[in-house]
Amino acid sequence: MIVVIIAGGSGTRLWPLSTPEYPKHLLKMAGDNLSLLQNTYNRSKDLASKVYVITEAGHAHHVKEQLPELTDDCFIIEPARRGTASCIVAGLQHIAGTQDNDEPIAFMAADHYVRDIAGFEHSFQLAGDVAKQEGKIVLVGVEPDHAATGFGYIQKGKVVNTEQFVFAVTDFKEKPDHITAQKYLRSGQYLWNCGYFVGTASIFLKSMEQYAPELLDNYNQLKATTTHEQYESTYLGFENIAIDYALIEKVQDLLVVPAAFDWLDLGSFADISKAVGSDEAGNHVSGNVETEEVQNTFIQNFEDKPVAVIGLDNCVVINTPHGILVTRKDLSQKVGDVSKRLNK
């Protein structure tokens, strides 16, 4: 199997820890000594015969510093962000020139948090085997454990492999409201759509030809470039669009494997607070911080000046040189909106 790690993102939802210049996947989370990107690479390298990383030019030097064991040919550099559809087109074009087009390729994000490495490897090995046997794109979806409104959902159809529990994909659902998410959870028919896609280069290109000819045209345009300047100019002309909308949701015969591993997106400070350790009061505190009558609160101070927190419950307090954030945990999804306004 070939693994392609998509190390993109603008760093808005975890401001001020994450910034456009140094986004989430480069950060060390959950008290870990490694970044999310490094952990994604570590759980992929035993699974894969080759690991590639796609990243934006502005972050490439950071990514290369964090993954020194990879050679230059393993890095696919975007001149600028053009969405995951363009990332996958670039990845396929790069791989098709050097690798077997019938070897399964797993595309995955760099910023997910997974602890069960054995379960992760099993799920992707299964997805790769099924993709090759069936000649179809296979997704890996996560069994929901709560009524999440921040994720899209995959609706499972009939079982196509009773031994391995591989399902046909019936439909995709956008991020639901809470009542709808509760219905999805209770039904047992839905998985979280985590953006994991597995298939051979041949399968992806055939699917593009049938369902997204504009992506195949982009692929052929990149393939025809002969200089770095031509490549950059061509890539910058691509539409900025997610692979879900450009291709995946159009394909009629997708399969899905339910993930056999734990999963967190770490898309908000509420998510991070679930992953890190806490004291008896439910607090996670790091840096020069003093607290009094504080419960269930996530506090990090990255400056020398002291931070005092008194009488808060269910909150997040972050102090960095980039800014100060104070929010209720249950409203931390709104950080991205505020961060975008600040970045303007």
For 175-190, the pLDDT digits (tens) are 999 999 999 999 999 9
3-state secondary structure of 227: coil
Mean pLDDT across 35-44: 95
| Cβ contact 299:291 at 8 Å | yes
pLDDT at 30: 58
Quote the CA–CA distance of 209 and 14 in Å, as a whole number.
38
| Cβ contact 154:258 at 8 Å | no
Mean pLDDT across 67-76: 96
Rounded to the nearest 10 degrees, the angle between the axes of helix 83-96 and helix 213-224 is 50
Mean pLDDT across 50-58: 95
pTM: 0.91
Pairing, β 255-258 against β 138-142? parallel
Q: What is the percent of the chain with per-residue pLDDT over 90, rounded to a whole number?
A: 79
pLDDT at 174: 93
Q: What is the dihedral of CA 41, 47, 49, 53, to 10 degrees?
A: -30
pLDDT at 31: 63
| Each residue's pLDDT tens digit, 203-250 | 999 999 999 999 999 999 999 999 999 999 999 999 999 999 999 999
Q: Is a pLDDT exceeding 80 seen at residue 295?
A: yes
pLDDT at 277: 80
pLDDT at 254: 97
Q: How confident is the model at residue 172 (pLDDT cuts 50, 70, 90)?
A: very high
Domain boundaries, the chain: 2-258, 269-343
pLDDT at 266: 81
Count Cβ atoms within 10 A of the Cβ of residue 234 and give its class: 0-12 exposed, 13-18 middle, 19 or more buried.
Answer: middle
Q: What is the dihedral of CA 37, 40, 46, 48, to 10 degrees?
A: -90
| Each residue's pLDDT tens digit, 118-152 | 999 999 999 999 999 999 999 999 999 999 888 89
Mean pLDDT across 291-306: 96
pLDDT at 33: 86
pLDDT at 134: 94
Domain covering 2-258: architecture: Alpha-Beta Complex (3.90)
| Each residue's pLDDT tens digit, 266-285 | 888 988 888 888 899 999 99
| Residue 181 phi, psi (nearest 5) | -65, -35
| Each residue's pLDDT tens digit, 80-121 | 999 999 999 999 999 987 777 789 999 999 999 999 999 999
Quote the CA–CA distance of 293 and 275 in Å, as a whole number.
23
Structure-block tokens of residue 322: 């980039």
